[in-house]
Chain A
Amino acid sequence: MTAYISLMIAIALIGALIAFLTKTREQARAVALVASGISLLISLIMLSRFDSSLTIMQFAESYNWIPSLGINLSFGVDGIGMPLVLLSCIVIPLTVIFAWGETKEANKFYGLILLELVGVLGVFTSRDFFVFYIFWEIVLIPMYFLISIWGGPRKDYAAIKFFIYTHVASLVMLLAIFTLYFNAWNITGKPNFDMFLLLEKYQLLDGWLITNVISIKDAIFIGLLFGFIVKMPAVPFHTWLPDAHVEAPTAGSVILAALLLKMGGYGLFRVILPLLPFSDSPGRMITLMAIIGVLSILYGTFLALAQRDLKKMVAYSSISHMGYVTLGAAALVPLSVSGAMFQQFSHGLITCVLFMSCGVIQHSAGTRIIGDLGGIAKHMPKLTFLMLAGFLASLGLPGMSGFIAELLVLLNSYANLPTFVILALFGIVFTAGYHLWAMQRAVFGTFNEKLGHIHDGANYEIASMAVLILLIIFFGLYPNPVLNMMTATATPLVRDAAGLLGVIV
């Protein structure tokens, strides 16, 4: 068995170091493209060798690191992680291609992008909670610099806000992990950070963290949940996202929306769902998650409707789409959970196109304010075509991947969470509303002569967007390559939950 995962992470890491050391931007971007391209290749090999019918961890590997504390460098992927690994390996090379023209401190720029790849791959493959946390934090730092060095006018504010929000959330998560770890240590008598072992021991825990106020189980559960939903982000912990997106450079926004948000959703499936049936009040927790999900969907939609900045609108649309992930996860039906997983994958692809469109428009027209644009379709036909395709995918047009995901979530969540699904359905009309409204005002209509001479996106920008659109259509027509493995993993995940809760499956 080849050590695919560690190889992939190592290549990205080495690529990042080499990129930092290069002198010219040509070298830096070549290094970035090669390193991320190799990662993509490895992930494709993994996909072809991945057995979709199994639910166990595949390509598993484990190395001792700190035995006295029970910490191992152990990796592996299953139906939750594999699609996201694939997504990361698709998005990063395309981002590198999209950002081919970056001139400002190019070596650091591409190095940081590769470092992001290291971080997300580690998060999606770690089987050890300690290593998981380390990678979780690694992701944070390059993004901070991407925003604070290459960002817009209020970049310092946005970067620090992003950092504080997500860092506070991950510290809370760390506390929860430690609580779980030490309590499990008490029970088993030996230290171990293995993720699955800890999740399994959770049900044996007992007692109060603060007597008669909060039990240890609830504290751990809520701590972890908090850590994940801030990252997703869910309302009301979402306000860092629009600011970060507005100020971040396009490549940063793409990575932030396509990969970093997915870490939160990944946490829900990997950690929260196994714990959910054993928490002290599963019914309340499910309701809590469903409320957060639907609130995010509707609130994100209406906020997107109110935005004047195209990119901010797209940022709010991300919040709305990630709401489906929470909702589908909370419904605890195999197909709703796999629909939620597919929503993660699909949103990762779609949101890239949206942010790239914003980037091209900003670059070409010099503004992203919807009211200041107008009629740019005339001068940017290629961009218009791709942007329209992306917007349609984002509003859930059938034939594109987003539709399959949202359909699965809505169809299958209704049995357990009828009211919430009906509420979510309301959002669909308004989702179409803000997308089309923005298109109509920014892209169609008469050309705003004040914009002066504008040109279509560069070839490398158009190419990377076109690839994404093709992928979106491919997975919209034939979702099976990733959907099957998601369903295979989701089924046992939910079986425990359903058996204990008596929910209809």
Chain B
Amino acid sequence: MADLYMYLIISAVIFTIGSYGIITQRSGIKILMCIELMLNSANLNLVAFSSFNDNASGQVFALFSIAIAAAEAAIGFAILVALFRVRDTINLDNINILRW
């Protein structure tokens, strides 16, 4: 069934873009956005398999995942905003006080 492969390929592309962004980007906002991309590619997989198998539990998991992603994004952005107020930057290279 060619449809499933289409979804999986799109999902893989999105995941790769996300992970590339995480590795290359230095801005906290961008990294968070890339994480969202990766999460959504996983969601896409879940929904695709769910539809493929005629089983609704995958879609339920996707909903869970979206909820958690929302929470995570909220906390992540809150931290970044707080950091920006203190350090005037969200460039992760400069936020290294916990590094050895």
Physical contact A–B (CB less than 8 Å): no
Which B residues have a C-beta under 8 Å from some C-beta of A? none
Which A residues have a C-beta under 8 Å from some C-beta of B? none
